[in-house]
Amino acid sequence: MAITVAVAGASGYAGGEVLRLLLNHPAYLSGELEIGALTGHSTAGESVGALMPHLPQLRERRIVDSTVENLAGHDVVFLGLPHGHSAEIAKTLGEEVLVIDCAADFRLKDKAAWDAYYDGEYAGSWPYGIPEMPGHREAIAQSKRVAVAGCFPTTTTLGALPAVAKGLIEPDISVIAVTGVSGAGKKASVAQLGAETMGNVRAYKPGGSHRHTPEMVQNLSEYSQQGPVAVSFTPVLAPMSRGILATITAKLAPGVDAAAVRAAYEEFYADEPFCLVLPEGQQPETQNVVGSNMVHIQAHVDDITGRLIVTAALDNLCKGTAGGAVQCMNLALGLPETAGLPQAAVAP
Amino acid sequence: MAITVAVAGASGYAGGEVLRLLLNHPAYLSGELEIGALTGHSTAGESVGALMPHLPQLRERRIVDSTVENLAGHDVVFLGLPHGHSAEIAKTLGEEVLVIDCAADFRLKDKAAWDAYYDGEYAGSWPYGIPEMPGHREAIAQSKRVAVAGCFPTTTTLGALPAVAKGLIEPDISVIAVTGVSGAGKKASVAQLGAETMGNVRAYKPGGSHRHTPEMVQNLSEYSQQGPVAVSFTPVLAPMSRGILATITAKLAPGVDAAAVRAAYEEFYADEPFCLVLPEGQQPETQNVVGSNMVHIQAHVDDITGRLIVTAALDNLCKGTAGGAVQCMNLALGLPETAGLPQAAVAP
Amino acid sequence: MAITVAVAGASGYAGGEVLRLLLNHPAYLSGELEIGALTGHSTAGESVGALMPHLPQLRERRIVDSTVENLAGHDVVFLGLPHGHSAEIAKTLGEEVLVIDCAADFRLKDKAAWDAYYDGEYAGSWPYGIPEMPGHREAIAQSKRVAVAGCFPTTTTLGALPAVAKGLIEPDISVIAVTGVSGAGKKASVAQLGAETMGNVRAYKPGGSHRHTPEMVQNLSEYSQQGPVAVSFTPVLAPMSRGILATITAKLAPGVDAAAVRAAYEEFYADEPFCLVLPEGQQPETQNVVGSNMVHIQAHVDDITGRLIVTAALDNLCKGTAGGAVQCMNLALGLPETAGLPQAAVAP
Amino acid sequence: MAITVAVAGASGYAGGEVLRLLLNHPAYLSGELEIGALTGHSTAGESVGALMPHLPQLRERRIVDSTVENLAGHDVVFLGLPHGHSAEIAKTLGEEVLVIDCAADFRLKDKAAWDAYYDGEYAGSWPYGIPEMPGHREAIAQSKRVAVAGCFPTTTTLGALPAVAKGLIEPDISVIAVTGVSGAGKKASVAQLGAETMGNVRAYKPGGSHRHTPEMVQNLSEYSQQGPVAVSFTPVLAPMSRGILATITAKLAPGVDAAAVRAAYEEFYADEPFCLVLPEGQQPETQNVVGSNMVHIQAHVDDITGRLIVTAALDNLCKGTAGGAVQCMNLALGLPETAGLPQAAVAP
């Protein structure tokens, strides 16, 4: 019998991208996986054809309400809801249901961090959905609950992890991450109008004020041998739909040189299908990962100032959200981890 | 034994898109199809990783010269060369080799039309690669030579064909087609710089001066019951990488109303997997076809002026070039026509 | 004593552009013109610095409510309100006040046209604000009420007028106008999000369904010697902030050739400071008019199909709205018509 | 008698922007300043109308060769040439001629820094053209030679200077500067094609490898009380034509808090017409400075990591190049410093 998959928040950008990936997934194409309920809140009752014309296979489907009844009876439920709504829904889903949450509700292990950055009650944490973090792949494979990582934390974690884990830098990093506008979601807003975002670049929530900051601290500190890692994070909005380019800088630890850095990065990701350390001198570009599940990474040593400058690019909606979510689904279902996840990007 | 495929002009945009599609093609994933020689001219000797980092699976490959030796011994050869180079190469490839030309060299059946628009000697014509044109699917399936259609002619032909074939309009149409910048190809140019194309829209080669015009005339006239179709075509360059939106206008034939138009369009494409006639009132958007092999079409009747206004959107690099080419390959090899060709697009 | 100018709807895009132009106006720089009340509705109480940081000179100012009291006592009042609000405010302003309306409320002379396209009661018409239309400059100069033209009608009218007025084409034209996203105004909307407009082109309100259509019909018919001009108008949204490029096509009248067309266009605009007929073969580009009050025009004859193809580019917020408004203010105040209106654009 | 101004390299982006500003300069509008020879290299003989249609007032002019003869006899000569060509031309111009060099040839005071970053012989240094650097305004006013600052150094210097000069941070800063594509100049290039830059963000020349790095070190070290300032600089290319947003981070000096930072920034720029310290919590946006000569600055204190995060935005072609150049011209000619330099930007 086929695996049935529901998507809550199906008409948002995360939900739509999950569907795009599922529609090209070999398990779907062979009939082993079926797309079940597509739920939403304000869009309930509307057709997929009207809401997401880029998914013509589903155009006759309708969005239904995000109720217990509509989500019940599926083997897998993706939650692509605004932060703060996943916990309640998750409670209504049986333990045998694989629940993959694209929101922040279950990402933080530390209640104090949650309270400092989020409203609402702390709901606990689930296995964290970056399989490339040592130990996480196994935990995800054995869990029925997965908290997909945020888009900025995925970029920063995968960019900085080799350096942190191998002690190549001081545990005090600065991250400036340029992001496309789809990260803000599909909701009406003056600040996110085309006229306010085209031909325009602006930083927002500088320093540690963005909610993704504690997630980065948590991820990197987990592997640091020098105590907790301090992260100063500033996102920058750029005029493109998709993509994140994070530039991560930190002081090199004493005695570390470019050769050691390169060796560490190449070794760390040697067996990872979705992490590509680029050849020396070649910089990541977001267009080279759009639509794919890849992270392209470069690690540059600035000898003059004694800094490491890591650049990492991914597609915020794919590897940064829905691609990461499907990767976790694959693991948790025992499917090939890379199934349905493109390595080749839609460029130019 | 696996089918082997070579791509000449592999480092251009058309060649890169053929490769992107092949890398996700089920025949490639199952090992039935292998990617052989990747040839180029100015890029010969360079690695795919340096030239097309969006295709990480091929990053260790090198572009080799477009010589007879390098292209020999493949079952399929895609030609993604500048106009005027295909004929010579095609001559060196055996009759048993499936040759799919993405250039204009073999598209025009009329030597006079060729002479009016192209330099160099007329080389004849091959079966023309729009399977959705009645009769063409069968011709392509039986041929070892296919001339893939131009991106503008594909958009215009599929947009106007139902109206022309069913005599709904006068055989005198005007086409304004907005295109993304990748249509100009991957060659250094001041006019195509980012700084000259972002935040900028301009028409070029207005009226009948663009080389794609005679191709549109040929295609539509083939099905016209009212004699040759006159086409006034003006392309407009817009600040996006991919996508064409053609707006096609013509006077309605006497007695034709909106209901007749809708019925004709829906019937004409009822069984076509890649042609979607949108519900009444919904306009095509290029973002909904980017990365896919779809054409989205709307046909609107302007009662006040007695005109038909058809809008049609496709991805110039995919359905408009490489997707059309792979669709023809599928047909000519006896594979499922839709294999490896996404219907879902990368949006937003 | 200085001329005092109020702007109603000051925090919208039209209002902001009026202010940008006034701040660089020689009468403002010399102290002869003063910027008075800046009014708004939802933004009342907010500072200009927060709402329009691109106008630093006014950053300490606050938006006040659009009340009779706040608008009273000025010599000039610009109305940059949503359609349907101008009539009521205008009634409260004395006859000696110069009122320049950027909305559609007073553009149409024909009540039937108004009723067909707009809600609300017909309020009559004011002198129409395109000074380049023969006779209008004089009417504007003598009026205390001016209805500024819509952005699409300005482009189409100035592009087609020489051909219509001199009988060079049949009175049945088709217009496809590509526009930047600022034309939709500064209001929250999903369809106008950056993520829904970048990398995307779409037509909307095709045929005669856009409200600007009857305005074009009115303008061109005023000068036609062949009876009313039929206009089929389709706007297309492109990923740029500012700019309109209209492509206007029509059948040539019998016996008209390229030389006659060129002579007519050059003669028609020979003395117009803001209308530039480009040399043969050079196409208008929107980037060459951004921030300026210019219209760049080309008229191409397609001999094969017997059509005229006129392309016209302007900045929808400047010449298409606020620049046109300031030009009218200059005329009505007896200032030099070109004062404060740039001919040079901000390119690239 | 009018001041005569020549522009060498007039058809490049810097030269074109100098001309745009001069055409709106009150001294030009009043006839006190005349635009003389416009010289170029590869464009010599072409008309301004063909090369820069956005400057219609000059459309009949022709570009002439950059020879001694053509440049002789002017009171002011702007040099907008590729790096390495200014020295030779400057030698041929009399000491009484005001020469304003937009290239890097005379920016660096330290021959070793020059040798480390540039080819060709070191030519010495001229008074450095950022009037807002204490002492520089006076030096520029008394000189006939000015080296206009680079676009990145202008942004970084003005962003970091208050913090450095007042000892608020440790003298070790990291700069990630996002730039529009016009910074690469108007020369044919595959990497700068629209198709390679739209929908794409990439870093380049990371760490200290960009030539603008030593210029930043020189500027900031001039005011540092803690010895030379180390600068790790990484530029990032974003899909917009104009604009730079620099994010500058550094460790706070002991005891420095947010109030001290705000007071320092506001005081430092209190009298500067082109430097705007935004209210607390408001971030600079590049669209708010496009076409203007402003720098918008915010200084944020991240208490958690003890860092200062300064963001600064300007228009790379205006304040970052041509606007800075005209500002220096104004000073050196004894004209009002702000003459012809807009504070209001073309937004959206």
In the predicted model, residues of chain D with pLDDT beneath 70 are none
Residues C275 and C157 in one domain: yes
Q: Look at residue B197 and give its three-state secondary structure.
A: helix
The answer to the question of residue C348 being in a domain is: no
Q: Tell if the CB–CB gap between B195 and D187 is shorter than 8 Å.
A: no
- At A155, list the tokens: 């970029």
Within chain D, residue ranges assigned H as helices are 13-23, 26-29, 48-51, 68-71, 86-92, 111-117, 136-141, 151-165, 194-197, 213-221, 258-268, 323-333
pLDDT at A84: 87
Share of chain B above pLDDT 70, in %: 100
Residues D168 and D216 in one domain: yes
Q: Is the pLDDT of residue B263 over 90?
A: yes
State the Cα–Cα distance between residues A26 and A5, nearest whole angstrom: 14
pLDDT in tens, D109-150: 999 999 999 999 999 999 999 999 999 999 999 999 999 999
The closest CB to that of C49, out of D54, D279, D342, belongs to D279
Residues B30 and B13 in one domain: yes
CB A314 within 8 A of CB D161: no
CB A149 within 8 A of CB A128: yes
Which residues of C have a CB under 8 Å from any CB of A?
A: 13, 180-182, 184, 186-190, 192-199, 239-241
Residues C133 and C185 in one domain: no
pLDDT in tens, C53-84: 999 999 999 999 999 999 999 999 999 998 88
The answer to the question of residue D50 being in a domain is: yes
For B97-149, give the DSSP string.
Answer: SEEEE-SSTTT-S-HHHHHHH--S-------BS-TTSTTHHHHHHT-SEEEPP
Element (H, E) at A302: strand A295-302
Residues A142 and A156 in one domain: no
pLDDT in tens, A17-27: 999 999 999 99
Which residues does chain A have within 8 Å of residue D280's beta carbon, measured at their own beta carbons?
Answer: none
The answer to the question of residue B342 being in a domain is: no
pLDDT in tens, A59-68: 999 999 999 9
| Closest CA of chain B from D164, distance in Å | 34
Task: Confirm whether B151 is a catalytic residue.
Answer: yes
Q: Tell if the CB–CB gap between D53 and C278 is shorter than 8 Å.
A: yes
Residues A179 and A138 in one domain: no
Residues C82 and C139 in one domain: yes
pLDDT at B182: 98
Q: Tell if the CB–CB gap between C189 and A192 is shorter than 8 Å.
A: no
What's the ipTM?
Answer: 0.97
Q: Look at residue D181 and give its three-state secondary structure.
A: helix
Share of chain D above pLDDT 90, in %: 97
- At A54, list the tokens: 């880029």
Query: Predicted confidence band at B83 (pLDDT cuts at 50, 70, 90)?
Result: confident
- Cα→Cα distances A180→A148, A185, A293, A343, B215, Å: 19, 11, 16, 20, 38
Q: Look at residue A221 and give its three-state secondary structure.
A: helix
Query: Predicted confidence band at A1 (pLDDT cuts at 50, 70, 90)?
Result: confident
* DSSP code of residue D318: I
Q: Tell if the CB–CB gap between C300 and B207 is shorter than 8 Å.
A: yes
Length of chain A: 348
In this structure, the dihedral spanned by the alpha carbons of residues B122, B126, B129 and B134, taken in order and rounded to 10 degrees, is 120
| Closest CA of chain C from A322, distance in Å | 17
The answer to the question of residue A202 being in a domain is: yes
Chains touching B by CB (3 or more pairs below 8 Å): A, C, D
Residue of B7, B19, B54 to mutate, interface with A, max A Cβ within 10 Å: B54
Amino acid at D11: S
Q: What φ, ψ does residue D169 adopt, rounded to 5°?
A: -130, 160
pLDDT in tens, A231-278: 999 999 999 999 999 999 999 999 999 999 999 999 999 999 999 999
pLDDT at A95: 95
- Computed over every residue of chain A, the mean pLDDT equals 97
Residues B308 and B250 in one domain: yes
Residues C198 and C124 in one domain: no
Our separate counts of H helices and E strands in chain B read: 12, 13
In this structure, the dihedral spanned by the alpha carbons of residues C144, C149, C151 and C157, taken in order and rounded to 10 degrees, is -140
Q: Tell if the CB–CB gap between B208 and C245 is shorter than 8 Å.
A: no
State the Cα–Cα distance between residues A15 and A315, nearest whole angstrom: 15
Q: Look at residue C28 and give its three-state secondary structure.
A: helix
Residues A88 and A200 in one domain: no
Q: Tell if the CB–CB gap between B195 and D13 is shorter than 8 Å.
A: yes
pLDDT at C208: 85
The answer to the question of residue D228 being in a domain is: yes
Q: How many CB atoms lie within 10 A of CB A151?
A: 29
pLDDT in tens, A110-139: 999 999 999 999 999 999 999 999 999 999
The closest CB to that of C238, out of B176, B178, B195, belongs to B178
Q: What residues pair up with D178 in beta bridges, in sequence order?
A: D236, D245
The answer to the question of residue D58 being in a domain is: yes
Q: Strand B275-277 relative to strand B295-302: parallel, antiparallel, unpaired?
A: parallel
Share of chain C above pLDDT 90, in %: 97
- At A139, list the tokens: 């935990």
CB A56 within 8 A of CB B343: yes
Element (H, E) at D78: strand D76-79
Which residues of B have a CB under 8 Å from any CB of A?
A: 13, 16, 19-20, 23-24, 26, 29, 49-50, 52-57, 59, 182, 186, 198-199, 241-242, 276, 278-279, 282, 285, 287-292, 294, 296, 342-348
Q: Specify the number of domains making up chain B.
A: 2
pLDDT at D83: 86
Q: Strand A202-203 relative to strand A230-237: parallel, antiparallel, unpaired?
A: antiparallel
pLDDT at B256: 98
Q: Any idea what the CATH number is for the domain that residue A271 is in?
A: 3.30.360.10
> In sequence order, what are the residues at sequence separation of 6 or more whose Cβ sits closer than 8 angstroms to the Cβ of residue A259?
none
Q: Tell if the CB–CB gap between D52 and C347 is shorter than 8 Å.
A: yes
The answer to the question of residue C347 being in a domain is: no
Q: Strand C33-40 relative to strand C244-251: parallel, antiparallel, unpaired?
A: unpaired
Q: Tell if the CB–CB gap between C311 and B172 is shorter than 8 Å.
A: no
pLDDT at D208: 85
Active-site positions of C?
151
pLDDT in tens, C312-328: 999 999 999 999 999 99
Residue B186's nearest CA partner among D180, D189, D204, D186 is D189
Closest-CA residue of chain A to C185: A195
The answer to the question of residue B169 being in a domain is: yes
pLDDT at B84: 87
User: B119: exposed, middle or buried (C-beta count within 10 Å: 0-12, 13-18, 19+)?
Assistant: exposed
pLDDT at C165: 98
pLDDT at C199: 97
Which residues does chain C have within 8 Å of residue A192's beta carbon, measured at their own beta carbons?
Answer: 193-195
pLDDT in tens, C191-237: 999 999 999 999 999 998 999 999 999 999 999 999 999 999 999 99
Q: Any idea what the CATH number is for the domain that residue D101 is in?
A: 3.40.50.720
Closest-CA residue of chain D to A309: D207
Q: Is the pLDDT of residue B1 over 90?
A: no
Q: Is the pLDDT of residue C45 over 90?
A: yes
pLDDT at C240: 98
Closest-CA residue of chain C to B308: C207
CB D32 within 8 A of CB D330: no
State the Cα–Cα distance between residues B228 and C53, nearest whole angstrom: 57
In this structure, the dihedral spanned by the alpha carbons of residues D222, D225, D226 and D230, taken in order and rounded to 10 degrees, is -20
Residues D121 and D8 in one domain: yes
State the Cα–Cα distance between residues A110 and A107, nearest whole angstrom: 9
| Closest CA of chain D from C113, distance in Å | 32
Residue of D46, D52, D198 to mutate, interface with B, max B Cβ within 10 Å: D198
Considering the entire predicted model, what is its pTM? 0.98
Element (H, E) at C264: helix C258-268
pLDDT at B126: 98
Domain containing B196 equals: 152-314
The closest CB to that of D287, out of A172, A199, A203, belongs to A199
Q: Is the pLDDT of residue B141 over 90?
A: yes
* DSSP code of residue B184: G
Query: Predicted confidence band at A83 (pLDDT cuts at 50, 70, 90)?
Result: confident
Residues C24 and C71 in one domain: yes
Q: What φ, ψ does residue A6 adopt, rounded to 5°?
A: -110, 150
